[in-house]
Amino acid sequence: MKKPILKKIEIPNGVSIEINEGLVKVKGPEGEVSRKFNLGKVRISVKENKFIAENEKATKNEKKIINTIYSHVKNMMKGVQKKFEYKLKICFGHFPFTVRQEGKKIFIKNFLGEKIDRIMETIDGTEIDIKKEIITVKSADKELAGQMAANFETATKVKARDLRIFQDGVYIIEKDGKKI
């Protein structure tokens, strides 16, 4: 059954939204985040300091699209007000390893006793702070912060050893203030 669906988000002070053919740009005190949406039959607009996603005769697909856009724009507005922050911990039991940053590259030295450093690139739009055994990843875009944290975990993945014994690596311990 088709019925009208309308979702509104109040735009906070200091945040502005621009819409151009499915491209939504959100600007705020902590930066700018943009995302291209595949709208289909959904209309998005900004009226009277509110972001609106709507459809007059919405089916299940339009409802899914509206809810997805609503969630993404809400996260974008949160991110430009206060950056998303992921905390990771460096854990080792066998070989002490170090993580250091030089420009856009991150070097993981002596992981599992390896002689060659593991090297990974930082993602544009993320800030990385390494202090002893805690790594902090910050970004206005929630997806970039999460991807950078996941890249750390992937770069220190243990291969060809018993995972019950070798639990060395870099692990996410906090996602945006929520302990894991």
Q: What is the DSSP string of 43-103?
A: EEEEETTEEEEEEEEE-HHHHHHHHHHHHHHHHHHHHHHS-EEEEEEEE-SSS--EEEEET
Query: Do 53 and 131 share a structural domain?
Result: no
- Order across the sheet with 16-20: list the strands: 16-20, 23-28, 31-36
**Pair (152, 72) in one structural domain:** no
Q: For position 152, what pLDDT does the model report?
A: 97
pTM: 0.89
Domain termination residue (choose one: 41, 66, 81): 81
Residues 91, 152: one domain? yes
Domain boundary among 81, 106, 131: 81
Q: Are 75 and 134 members of one domain?
A: no
- Claim to verify: residue 76 and residue 97 sit in the same structural domain: no
Q: Which of 66, 81, 96 is the last residue of a domain?
A: 81
Domain co-membership, 50 together with 102: no
CA dist., res. 177 & res. 29, Å (int): 20
pLDDT at 40: 87
Do 72 and 112 reside in the same domain of the chain? no
**Neighbouring-strand partners of residue 110:** none
Angle of the 142-155 helix axis to the 60-81 helix axis, nearest 10: 80
pLDDT at 94 (0 to 100): 86
pLDDT, residue 2, reads 87
Confidence at residue 1, expressed as pLDDT on a 0 to 100 scale: 66
Q: Does residue 11 sit in the same domain as residue 50?
A: yes
- What integer pLDDT is reported at residue 177 of this predicted model? 81
36 in the same domain as 109: no
10 and 91 inside one domain: no
Q: What is the mean pLDDT of each run of 10 residues along the chain (180 residues)?
A: 90 95 95 93 94 93 94 96 97 93 96 94 96 96 96 93 89 91
Q: Give the per-residue pLDDT at 163.
A: 84
CB atoms within 10 A of CB 147: 16
24 touches 44 (CB < 8 A): yes
| Structural domain containing residue 74 | 3-81
